[in-house]
Amino acid sequence: MNLTVTRLKSIFDHLEEVLMAALLAFMTCITFIQVILRYVFDAGWVWSLEATTYSFAWLVLIGMSYGVRTQTHIAVDFVVNMLPARIRFFVVLFTLVLCISYAGLMLYGSAMFIQGLYTIGSLARDIPVPKWLLTIVMPLAFMMLGVRFFQAVWHVFKDKK
């Protein structure tokens, strides 16, 4: 099986989009069912709020890298765009180095957090699952974010030529 870099990137991009769509669909279905159960049948699922909360967190964390890939994050580039091309190149590069540093620090911190949760062995409040398993997305998402920032650096150098 011959996987090229382009094919791997395509799989990575598709996985990101599928995960986000599945999480949004899951949250919508659980919330809809919970509303029907609560207001029509005067019943409900104890775990639904916690499940939607964790799902939303996953959606936001995965959405960070998606936003970088699609360039849909808020960018304040009015002043940067007024700079000469050479200075703008270095400002953008410096900004991306800061962003990669942030992603790296958050990757490390979230990995330490997950390790702590794993060591403690605590369960989620309403879902009988280890809490570390529900928060494992944190280091994965910051790793994905770092990859996206490295891709942005690649594009900066590619576009400079």
pLDDT at residue 73, rounded to an integer:
77
Which residue type is seen at 87? I
Give me the percent of the chain exceeding a pLDDT of 70. Answer: 98
Task: State mean pLDDT over 16-37.
Answer: 96
Task: State mean pLDDT over 68-81.
Answer: 81
pLDDT at residue 2, rounded to an integer:
61
Q: Where are the domains of the chain?
A: 5-160
Position 138 pLDDT exceeds 90: yes
**SS3 category, 123:** strand
